[in-house]
Chains A and B, each alone.
Chain A
């Protein structure tokens, strides 16, 4: 019995210790795993947190889930990369005040041997078509993320319905999918940032890039305070202004991973 009492005491003490941490204001940001995994947020957020004496709670999920969290009002701000979904989010009245923050691009990764001959293609539609024709292994995110919805767009542009045992729907994050495609010697679609972060951990190389359909813009949207009155609209607005400020732009364009720039601003 005594030990249980000790446990209860220890537990209540620890709660007492964590209470002061709740004093600073918290802003909830739902963003994508690719943004979080890139490491950019750890240099981008601290200056804002310091000047505004707040803490930004980052919840990293796929774009689909991030938007869902915004719709249900469980976060204050969403930062995602799937323009069609963002527009619908705003049109349905859940989000307001969208800003373009930055962009990078998608690349198609494949094994060095390039069994489907993707490197010979000149545009993304024929690259996707040749993968499907050769029934070369392709690992899809399959998780309703921004990358996943872009991949589906690209298949449509190539007039292909991906189906069969060569098409693997992983249902996992970008990094895990790159590792999986590498192990299976298959192809996959990745944002350039995650690929650069993983280039030391996989043997996959870029086999197709540069097509205008691979452009990948990131937008930030505030959750509509009229729909969800508890949204911290003032702090959220300041955060949005910060993200498009010269200070943030310098941080974004100055961010390097393995010596390479990951994100660009307009």
Chain B
């Protein structure tokens, strides 16, 4: 019991002390996750909509593949991209390993299947006559598609929130591709892993509480956007 109480006290102290290291760690987590989700959404929303609206041979196979990719273990993504970004790998010249960009790339790979799947489900769940109605009312195909996305905006938002949850809470990609470098690629999750390895369990758990609070605020913010 003492251990848990101590962690909660340490968490509150950490949040209100505005410790520089903690701020930096929270910031790194937030901006890598936001960049990853922004990139991933621009990629995944069109994919989800296209899959939801079109019929073609092998469509079910593509969907099954996407569903499977949702279960991608983070360390596997980390391993594959490590091989790509390492100096000996095909993209080695760019020197991207152990930088935030490498982490963002890994997170995009993790989030894209989730967002496409959620958007696909939203498109399949909505009335498919929207497009035709919009077209008969004189909308261009692009306008018709935008109308559809407006209609399923709650689904799209749910997709983004789910993707965000996946990337901000994961540790495999951040650790393998970021390297847990202080003031550079140390995120909330890798900091928790580090504190745990140092035996600072209370401090690690306190960071966990900070992470949850940050996630709570981000979700409140997204919620606000959604209601507008």
Contact = CB atoms under 8 A, between A and B. Distances in A.
B55 interface: no
A7 B41 contact: yes
Q: Identify the 10 closest CB pairs spanning chains A and B, nearest first.
A: A14-B31, A73-B87, A11-B38, A3-B225, A11-B35, A59-B179, A173-B197, A57-B181, A8-B38, A11-B34
Interface string A159-201: 0000000000000110110110000000000000000011001
Interface in B177-208: 179-184, 194, 196-199
Interface of B: 30-31, 34-35, 37-39, 41-42, 45, 86-88, 92, 95, 97-98, 100, 146, 149-150, 153, 156-157, 160, 179-184, 194, 196-199, 222, 225-226, 228
A33 interface: yes
A4 B45 contact: yes
A59 B35 contact: no
A17 B100 CA distance: 13
A34 B100 CA distance: 25
Contacts of B92: 73
Contacts of B86: 72, 74
A8 B42 contact: yes
A184 to B, nearest CB: 16
Given A3-B225, A173-B197, A197-B198, A10 B34 contact: yes
Contacts of A14: 30-31, 34-35
A7 B88 contact: no
Interface of A: 1-4, 6-8, 10-12, 14-15, 17-18, 21, 26, 28, 33, 37, 55, 57-60, 72-74, 172-173, 175-176, 178-179, 197-198, 201, 228, 230
Nearest to A8: B38
Contact of B179 (A2, A17, A33, A57): A57
A23 B160 CA distance: 33
A198 B199 CA distance: 7
A229 B160 CA distance: 42
Nearest to B185: A57
B95 A230 contact: yes
Contacts of B184: 21, 26, 55, 57
A4 B35 contact: no
Contacts of B87: 72-74, 228, 230
A193 to B, nearest CB: 12
B37 A59 contact: no
30 contacts: A1-B149, A2-B225, A2-B228, A3-B153, A3-B157, A4-B38, A4-B156, A4-B160, A7-B34, A7-B41, A10-B34, A10-B38, A11-B31, A11-B34, A14-B35, A15-B35, A17-B31, A18-B31, A33-B197, A55-B184, A57-B98, A57-B184, A58-B181, A72-B86, A73-B88, A74-B97, A173-B197, A175-B197, A176-B196, A178-B199
A178 B196 CA distance: 12
Nearest to A228: B87
Given A7-B41, A18-B100, A74-B97, A175 B34 contact: no
A181 to B, nearest CB: 12
Contacts of A198: 199
B199 A179 contact: yes
Contacts of B199: 175-176, 178-179, 197-198, 201
Contacts of A21: 184
B38 A7 contact: yes
Contact of A3 (B30, B198, B222): B222
Contacts of A74: 86-87, 97-98
A161 B135 CA distance: 77
A151 B123 CA distance: 59
A175 B203 CA distance: 15
